[in-house]
Amino acid sequence: MKIVAIESSCDETAVAVIEVLRQAQDKPESISVLSNVVSSQIAMHERYGGVVPALAAREHVANIGQVYGTAMKEAGLHDPAHDIDLLAVTRGPGLGPALLVGLTFARTLAWRYDKPLIGVDHMDGHVHSNWLGDNKMPNDIFPALNLIVSGGHTDLVLMRDHGDYEIIGETLDDAVGEAFDKVARLLGLPYPGGPKISALALLGNPAAYDLPRPMLKSPDFNFSYSGLKTAVLYLIRDITGGARELTETEKADIAASFQEAAIEVLIQKTRRAAEALAVPTIMLSGGVSANAQLRKRLTDMCSDMGIHCIIPAMEYTGDNAAMIAVAAYFAHQRDAASDWQSVQMDANLRLGIPPSTP
C-alpha cells in the first residue's frame, strides 16, 4: 500500500509518501519512507518571534504544489490515479488558516483521482513517528504510555492500541515547548527557542540556580510550566537589577537550570504514571523529543525500570508528513477511510476524543 500524506498544521509545508507491506501475523508491518519533503517557514517567522497564522497560510499556498511535486518525484510516482492507494491529511489540531490549505489540497487530490482520504490527528501522527526509522517494535508494546511534548502540548497519554487513547495528564497552562520558547526570548535568543536553549544549556551549570519544579509533588499526572517561566523572568530581574545585560555565563547557567527543572518534572511524572499503570512500554514524541537531555533521561529511566523505551528518530521529531501517513495506515486498518467530502478540519482536535460528525 502506498500512502501520500500532507501536513500543514503550523509552519512546515510537508508531503510524504510511504509504502507499507503486510507481513506474517506475528510480525509488524514493514514501513518504508519513499519521500518526506518539508518546507520550513522558520526564517520568515523568526523576525516576529513566533508563527503568524495568516503568513503561515500564505506560505503554505505558495509552497504546497511544489512540495507535493517534489515528494511524488522522489518517491518515483508518476501516475497518482494508479500509484496511490490512500491519501491522508492533518485535520487538526493546529492553526486554522494553515490547516485549511493542506486539507483543501488533499481533498482536491482525493476528488480528482477518486481516492479514499483519511483525516489524521496531528498528535496521533507524532505518536506514530515512533514507527518510522530503525525502531524495533516489541510484540508486547501495548498498553504504552506516551509522553507527548511540543510547543502546544505536554500530555501523558495511555495508548491501549492504535487509535485507542486516553489522556491521563496534561498541562494546565503553558506547554513545555512554549516555555522553552518564552525563556529563550527572555534570554535574547532567536525563535524557535527550544533548540537554542538546549545548545546553550550544554555550556551552563544546571545547579547554578534553584528554580521551581511546578506540580512535581501533586498526586495527579498534570503539568504546569507558566510558573517556571515566570520564575526565570524574576531571576533575570534579580541578577541584573534591570540595569545591565546578562553575561554569557549567566545566560548559559539560566538555560541549563531551566532545562533541568523542566525535564525533571517530565521524567518524574512519567515514572509515576508508568508505575501506576504498570505499562510495558514508554514512548516519547513531539517536537521537544529532539531535546538530547530529555532523550537520555527517559532512556536511562526506562532502563532502570526494565521497560521498553521507544524514541523517534531525530529526523521525525519535528512536524512532517511521514508520521501522518503512518497514523493514516493504522486508521485505514480500522476502516477509517472516507471520501473527500467527509473529512473536516478541527483546529481544536483532542487526542482520544471522538471526531465530531461533519
Tell me, what's the pLDDT at 152? 87
Tell me, what's the pLDDT at 337? 62
In this predicted model, which residue has the larger pLDDT, 191 or 314?
314
Tell me, what's the pLDDT at 135? 81
Residue 354 lies in a domain: no
Q: Angle 193-201/248-277 helices, nearest 10 degrees?
A: 100
175/268 same-domain check: yes
Tell me, what's the pLDDT at 356? 42
Residue 341 lies in a domain: no
Strand partners, 32: 19
Tell me, what's the pLDDT at 339? 74
For range 310-323, the mean pLDDT: 96
275/155 same-domain check: yes
For range 310-331, the mean pLDDT: 96
In this predicted model, which residue has the larger pLDDT, 352 or 214?
214
Q: Which domain holds residue 179?
A: 140-311
Residue 351 lies in a domain: no
Task: Tell me the pairing of strands 144-149 and 154-161.
Answer: antiparallel
Q: Is the pLDDT of residue 226 over 90?
A: yes
Strand partners, 308: 281
Q: Is the pLDDT of residue 56 over 90?
A: no
The helix/strand/coil state of 268 is: helix
82/188 same-domain check: no
How does residue 358 score in pLDDT terms, banded at 50, 70 and 90? very low
How does residue 26 score in pLDDT terms, banded at 50, 70 and 90? low
pTM of the full structure: 0.93
Residue 179 contacts residue 153 (beta carbons within 8 Å): no
Residue 197 lies in a domain: yes
202/288 same-domain check: yes
Residue 222 lies in a domain: yes
How many domains, the chain? 2
Tell me, what's the pLDDT at 357? 37
Mean pLDDT over all residues of the chain? 92
For range 300-318, the mean pLDDT: 96
Q: Is the pLDDT of residue 58 over 80?
A: yes
Closest CA to 3 of 78, 71, 86, 68: 86
323/280 same-domain check: no
In this predicted model, which residue has the larger pLDDT, 61 or 352?
61
Of all residues in the chain, the percent with pLDDT exceeding 90 is 80
How does residue 48 score in pLDDT terms, banded at 50, 70 and 90? low
84/34 same-domain check: yes
Residue 358 lies in a domain: no
Residue 307 lies in a domain: yes
How does residue 49 score in pLDDT terms, banded at 50, 70 and 90? confident
59/204 same-domain check: no
The helix/strand/coil state of 151 is: coil
178/307 same-domain check: yes
Per-residue model confidence as pLDDT tens digits over 61-82: 999 999 999 999 999 999 999 9
204/70 same-domain check: no
64/160 same-domain check: no
Considering only the C-alpha atoms of the chain, give the largest distance between any 2 of them, rounded to a whole number of Å: 68
Closest CA to 212 of 223, 203, 221, 198: 223
Per-residue model confidence as pLDDT tens digits over 244-271: 999 999 999 999 999 999 999 999 999 9
Tell me, what's the pLDDT at 106? 97
Q: Is the pLDDT of residue 45 over 80?
A: no
- Tell me the torsion sign for CA atoms 243, 247, 253, 254: positive
173/259 same-domain check: yes
Tell me, what's the pLDDT at 24? 64
CATH number at residue 10: 3.30.420.40
Residue 28 grid coordinates:
509488524
Closest CA to 123 of 335, 324, 326, 308: 324
Residue 356 lies in a domain: no
69/160 same-domain check: no
